[in-house]
Chains A and B, each alone.
Chain A
Amino acid sequence: MTTVTGETALPGNGVLGQPLDSREDPQLLRGEATYVADIDLPGTAHMAILGSPVAHAKILSIETKAAEQLPGVLKVATAADFTDVMPLPCIWIPGGVESHFPPHPYGLPGARPVLTGDTVRHVGDPIAVVVAETPRQATAALAAIAVEYEPLPVVTRADEALAEGAPQLHEAVPGNLNAYWTCGDKDRTDAAIAEAEVTVELDLVNQRTINSPIEPRGAVGDYNAATGEYTLYASTQGPHNHRFLLSALVLGIPFNKLRVVAPTVGGSFGTKGYLYPDMALVLLLSKALGRPVKWVDTRTGLMNSTVQGRDHRQHVTLAGTRDGRITAVRCTSYANLGAYPSTIGPGVATALMGRSISGMYDIDAAFCEVYAAFTNTVSLGAQRGSGRAEAAFLMERLVDRYSSEIGMDPAAVRRKNLVPKEKFPYDNGLGWTYDSGNYQLNFDRALELSGYADMPARKAEARTRGKRLGVGLATYVAICGVGPSTRMSKEGMLGGTWESANIRVHPTGEVTVTVGSASTGQSHGTVFAQVAADELGIDPAQVQVYEGDTLKAPYGQGTYGSRSYSMAAPAVALTARKLKAKLVRAGAVFLGIPEDKVVYAGGKVYEEGNEENTKTFAELAMAMWYGWGLPPEIEPALDETTHFDPPDFNYPFGSHVAVVEIDELTGETEVVAYTAVDDAGNIGNPKVVLGQIEGSIVHGLGQALMEAAEYDENGLLVSSDLNHYALPRAADVPFFDLDKTVTPSPHNPLGAKGAGEIATVPPAAAVVNAVVDALSDLGVRHIDMPLTPEKVWRRLRGESQ
């Protein structure tokens, strides 16, 4: 059974908070939505990219003549053709860190060239491009490009890249160390650990995973020679952000001559917010050829070029008392940034991870240090729950290890250490201040809903069937609502992180909302219409939402880090409030009464105590369009914009319980029950959020059970298609038992917290805890993910990790 219960308390006409059907769905269900691969501009030429087949080598020569002469080939280009193009920058270098990388011409840390000319550093590193009349001709011509390589030694692990004598990736980065970053209080933490009654330690591998949106990336560049304007159609989470990066920082073309359009985007989960060489290349080549240039990635191409996630090797320590009070937590992490710093990868691997490690617990001393290293792998980036999932994993594994060490129930240990309700706002000592929460309520609900108390009986019953039942708990806090721009600047983010919204009321009373964010499947058109309709007291059917086109929409960073409903939606609400305020002022004129007698309610204005004297929303819209009789201090028209920069982040949280059964004969782990109680503050559309919670949990289960980006000793990505990289399928999961608690955030007018990815944060920890629980009588204290049947089978037979 799947249930969502709980109360939301929202102002407005009651439209917000309702599980309205997604208005985007019918078009998607009919297959009528246009994704980037479906865009077919007249005269389009097709681009293919030659990626390096080796992980690390000097390029001695590139011979392109044979390729140029093949049928249909229009252009073959290498790095030599783009010497005046600036490198793709990294814009999130964590604060207080000395960043070791050759600088970008604009003072930014340069990341990667659009094409690699001298040294390739990972399999898939782009070396050359072909543009041809058809996609097949372009792909076929790649094989005719002859590249001579001088192999260099390869390293694919962060800890090994930092060791003495390791292969060196960048001349300017001795020792491969991009950043050493810390947070928390080292001395206090070390002292607490030294004095503790009990300490436990774990060595953890948070394996590299591939985000795998089902739609691969794509880009279409269209240069208009008559006007000098460029248009980029791309599968992006943030068209405005890509416009900023490309025009100002890479191509040097005027900002106002670049338009970026995100058509329907087929999922992203973090990866499509990054700047990739192909986005610049289609624009440059469109200008060079005088035709639109289109590129669509393959699955294997995606796996060898689109940012990957997680990838930490950690030594973690927890200290506490014999009676279950946690006194300190410490983490030393080796983070694998891949071959180049991606757009925001270094920030993900440090601040997003490190500042969250103490989770929902009230701990006196905490410290995290991260060594972020370059290796011969695909660049690291965000992945659904990024940073926060890695943090929850280490903390929740430690809490279980500690519980077992002191012989106390892991639920009791957790409960004892949860941040108490009266301590909010809570400074976690690692750099975040949690806005609001009722962790006890949330945690107790998860225990109750999962039937935690009955688990011993269920374990005994499972053994009669040849199964070992295990139960695993995991709690989390996820920083969302990125972010307050000034706060983000202190984290080293080079860019404004606010969001904006415009609302235009048309003479006929219909309403257009435009927002800077861009959906990758989150039903923004439905939810933002609810927000506007709720505030204005009108029917959501009157409201149309546009986003994803920099020409049509006001600025905004886009959709990432579960921020749209707590960043863009508040901008919509505040804009609607501006409109209401204006309508009250204008209403006084139209109704012939003093302003303090005007009531705005139910989408109309009327005189207090005399509802006969009224104007409907449509009448007001028309009257404002005419503008007749308005005093000079009231401008005609109803058209307002808000730029929303919150005072601080928001912090959703939750408690999950996984129940697994392990087959004693095969080692196969089946998730037989899963309970999640998440708190995302006030929710705008429960139906939409339910879908995101369910999808998020399955994504997290994927990391626990089957997903891993495996590189061999030569740096070849072995798992480079979906035959070799396992994603969860429908039969791999049961229905979940879901509930929520509601603790509004004080940091935005909707009381919203992030929701889209939060439930991806705890499942890996919950499942590993459950499997270790099931095997604990065999002396198993930890198993690295993914928990493949073979790995578990070996442990059942007493083999060590």
Chain B
Amino acid sequence: MNVNGRPEQFSAQPNELLVERLRDGLGLTGTKVGCDTGQCGSCVVQLDGRSVKSCLILTVSAAGSEVATIEGVTTPGGELNGLQEALRQEHGTQCGFCTPGMVMALGELVDNTAGGEAPTEPEIREWLTGNLCRCTGYHSVVRGVQRACAAARAEAPAGSTAVGQEV
């Protein structure tokens, strides 16, 4: 598989979970394990561009896929992407354990808005239902997504619809 754009070759046991390969095999510990049952969303990564819970995916079933983890979003200590920057401005993270999973899950939503409609607040909340956070109560995360979507739309090429709701 390709992980963060880099080819990785290995053999895996049939029962190995993708999250184990990423964390233990490849040392990509930005992806977290919070619940083991697909409920908390801390382990979300992108598989061929779609966000998935890597504790529910067998490594072998991801063979040949493009996998993106939080480590692929930025360089160490480097610039934050639009969503991360918006979450930073809204303090959309506290203990940070659920945060990489949220960034990976919400990235798709923000990307989709660049040339389309801005998601409504209920849509953002619905999109977030796969990710549990016990610290923030989600408010700052939702505000962060709204901010990121507004920024994405402002930067979108001419012809896109105007910026939607004010944050």
Report which A residues bind B (CB closer than 8 A): 2, 21-22, 24-35, 37-38, 40, 211-216, 264-269, 298-300, 520-523, 687-688, 690-692, 694-699, 721-723, 727-731, 733, 735-736
Contact = CB atoms under 8 A, between A and B. Distances in A.
Interface in B90-110: 91, 93-100, 103
B124 A38 contact: no
Interface string B68-102: 01110110111010001001110101111111100
Interface residues of B, number: 57
Q: Considering residues B31, B80, B93, which has the most beta carbons from chain A within 10 angstroms of its beta carbon?
A: B93
Given A38-B29, A730-B124, 18 more contacts: A21-B89, A30-B74, A31-B99, A32-B30, A37-B32, A40-B27, A213-B95, A214-B95, A215-B97, A264-B96, A266-B97, A299-B34, A692-B135, A695-B136, A721-B35, A727-B132, A730-B125, A730-B141
Contacts of B141: 730
Contact of A523 (B80, B94, B137, B139): B94
7 contacts: A211-B134, A213-B97, A267-B134, A300-B36, A727-B134, A730-B129, A731-B122
Interface of B: 23, 27, 29-37, 39-40, 42, 69-71, 73-74, 76-78, 80, 84, 87-89, 91, 93-100, 103, 121-122, 124-126, 128-129, 131-143
Contacts of A691: 91, 94, 135-136, 139-140
Contacts of A736: 139
Nearest to A729: B129
Nearest to B128: A730
A687 B97 CA distance: 19
A35 to B, nearest CB: 6
A694 B142 CA distance: 12
Contacts of B89: 21
A722 B55 CA distance: 14
Contacts of A298: 36
A692 B94 contact: yes
B96 A699 contact: no
A30 B97 CA distance: 11
Contact of B137 (A33, A300, A694): A694
A688 B94 CA distance: 9
B135 A521 contact: yes
Sorted nearest first, the 5 A-B pairs with minimum C-beta distance are A31-B30, A28-B96, A521-B95, A266-B97, A698-B137
B98 A214 contact: yes
Contact of B99 (A21, A29, A299): A29
A298 B125 CA distance: 27
Contacts of A21: 88-89, 91
**Of listed B23, B39, B89, B137, residue having the most chain A CB within 10 A:** B137
B82 to A, nearest CB: 12
Nearest to A269: B134
B137 A31 contact: no
B97 A214 contact: yes
Contacts of B29: 31, 34, 37-38
B135 A695 contact: yes
A29 B135 contact: no
A213 B96 CA distance: 11
A690 B89 CA distance: 13
B141 to A, nearest CB: 7
A265 B134 contact: no
A136 to B, nearest CB: 8
Contacts of B23: 37
Contacts of A22: 88, 91
Contacts of A33: 96
A721 B96 CA distance: 21
Given A25-B87, A731-B128, A215 B34 contact: yes
Nearest to B140: A691
Contacts of B84: 26, 29-30
B20 to A, nearest CB: 8
Given A31-B71, A32-B30, A216-B34, A733 B138 contact: yes
Contacts of B39: 721-723
A330 to B, nearest CB: 34
Given A29-B80, A29-B99, A30-B84, A729 B94 contact: no
A522 B140 CA distance: 14
Contacts of B124: 730
B126 A266 contact: no
A750 to B, nearest CB: 21
Nearest to A727: B132
Nearest to A20: B91
